[in-house]
A and B are shown apart, each in its own frame.
Chain A
Amino acid sequence: MKSRASKIWLAALGLTIAATALYADLRKGDYSPAQLGILQQPSPLPLAPDATYQIPPYPVPTPDLAPGDGVQEVRTYCNTCHSPRYITMQPPLPAATWEAEVTKMNKAFGAGIPEDSTRKIIAYLKAHYTVDNRR
């Protein structure tokens, strides 16, 4: 009885060693608590068989703009026609390019940003979104 038990025990140990040798670098069960990678499913709209083809609103998740002088002007004026993602999406750009972009908004697109606010917006973009200072 005793010898039978120890035989089973030895066999189990042998199997364990064999398995360990076979899967020397096997890794398992690595979980990490995280919100990264999760996305809620939007529910569909109820439909009526009429002539109107409606879809739900377009989601606008607010990106983080760098805090600093001028961020309020950016939120007020730039946000009229586009979300601040138009800024945060860009690679680090030369200061002159940022100035040209704001000038384009006023001149080509008629944004009508007051002169003082225009200066503040340009200074803000130059202070946070160039190669020297983008974080």
Chain B
Amino acid sequence: MVKGLALAGGGIVAGRSTDLFATGPQQPSQLTPVEPFTGPGANPHWNSIGPYITEPQKVPLILLTDRPVQIETPRHYFNTPFTPNDAFYVRWHLEGIPNAVDLKTWKLHIEGQVENPLAFSLAELMRDFKPLSVAAVNQCSGNSRSRLQPRVPGAQWGNGAMGNAMWTGVRLRELLDAARVRKSSSQVQLQGLETGQGPKGLGSNLFLKSLDLSDPVLDDCLVAYLMNGEPLPVLNGFPLRLVVPGYFATYWTKCLTWIRVLDAPDDNFWMKTAYRVPDTPRGNTTPEEVKAGLLKTVPISRFPVRSFLVSPDGSSKIPAGMTITLRGIAFSGYGRIAHVEISNDGTKTWTKARLGEDYGPYSFRTWEHSWTPPASGRYTLAVRATDDKSNVQPNEPVWNPGGYLWNQIERQEIVVGEAG
């Protein structure tokens, strides 16, 4: 009786799993987490490798650091041209991030080298100025830092430190004009509610960024109180965020509260030391050149042209002969996307993809391409974008000590199985 039961049990287990019928190789039947760190080689994953974390006003996103908060957007959220607010990546520098903002007392201040210092409540900004909207990509300067060889210290982002949103608010120019900027002023400095515990005057106390008053990008800047038609999540800058279309996110000050006109170039840590790139083509250099100490650097500004295959993501097999749709996004800080090309032979030959709806020069542009893998095997798909200034993604990597400006052609291995 006992023996019979044991046999029956064994039969059920065998029938339910694979022992009797399996003809292919056995897969390890285990749940294992992704590796706890990557390196010294490049991070081989599309995203960074941290655990998921649920931050306030967010769906579970990938944790890089928790204090201050840095979280990354998983790949599949880029299947749409606009990135949902609750999935939008987050990057702060100092641990003093607001948990509550009182709009009775909060005001946006325009001060410094102006004839007419001003302060506006959110109600006044919404009521007294004509709202404008722009679709614009917000990308961290260090997006994809974990690709660099040799690896550099810093937030080890995969590709998900980016997002696209429809930003709505007030033109920065209108506010500056209302305050009447003094002639011979140099820069406009931006300060949000973020504070740190470091001594006054150091980068560990305040995060400050500045833009040249002569920079044409100022005409495109918005002070945004809406993100995709909703208030901004606090982690993305509620109540107000500077939008600098085409520029890396370091200038997109969150919880923007002080707009300060300066009479001399800003020499605070976050302008003079951090967020600088070599003054070379692509911002490329070598560890040897850095050691030699001869490198001239400039503040980072626009992001180079990039494109991504979002799906399929390579985590599942595709049956041979099946016509599937490749989907992805492309964008450039220098101009509208002109075309996106796909290669299924490891960048030897290229064919053009269909572009999706055009939401303006600073937005994600979606693309699609039908692909029928003819036979089983391993395929390397690659995607390459070109913008309307003829900037095209290069096949060569980039390296600089800050881990900025990565835009090498992306590749994705796809395993195609037999279809029977």
Contact = CB atoms under 8 A, between A and B. Distances in A.
Interface in B45-67: 50-57, 60, 63-67
A52 B101 contact: yes
B319 to A, nearest CB: 14
Contacts of B18: 25, 27
Contacts of A61: 51, 53, 63, 66
Interface string A87-99: 0111111000100
B160 interface: no
Q: Which of B64, B95, B231 has the most CB of A within 10 A?
A: B95
B54 A59 contact: yes
Given A58-B97, A93-B151, A28 B197 contact: no
Interface residues of B, number: 62
Interface stretch (B20-28, B177-185, B215-223): B20-28
A5 interface: no
Given A29-B16, A60-B67, A110 B202 contact: yes
A29 B17 contact: yes
A55 B21 contact: no
Nearest to B146: A91
A81 B196 contact: yes
Task: Tell me whether chain A's interface is mostly helix, strand or loop, or mixed.
Answer: loop
Given A55-B234, A110-B198, A89 B55 contact: no
Nearest to A28: B16
Interface in A46-83: 51-61, 80-83
B102 A42 contact: no
B151 A39 contact: no
A109 B55 CA distance: 27
A52 B30 contact: no
A30 B30 CA distance: 9
Nearest to B96: A81
Interface string B314-334: 000000000000000000000
A106 to B, nearest CB: 11
A53 B50 CA distance: 29
Contacts of B204: 81, 108-111
23 contacts: A24-B21, A25-B22, A25-B23, A26-B21, A30-B29, A51-B102, A52-B103, A53-B238, A53-B239, A55-B57, A58-B97, A61-B51, A81-B95, A81-B198, A85-B63, A85-B64, A85-B66, A88-B36, A89-B65, A90-B39, A109-B198, A109-B202, A134-B37
Given A82-B68, A134-B39, 20 more contacts: A29-B17, A41-B54, A52-B101, A53-B239, A55-B57, A57-B99, A59-B53, A59-B54, A61-B51, A61-B53, A61-B63, A85-B63, A85-B65, A89-B50, A89-B64, A89-B155, A91-B40, A108-B202, A110-B202, A111-B198
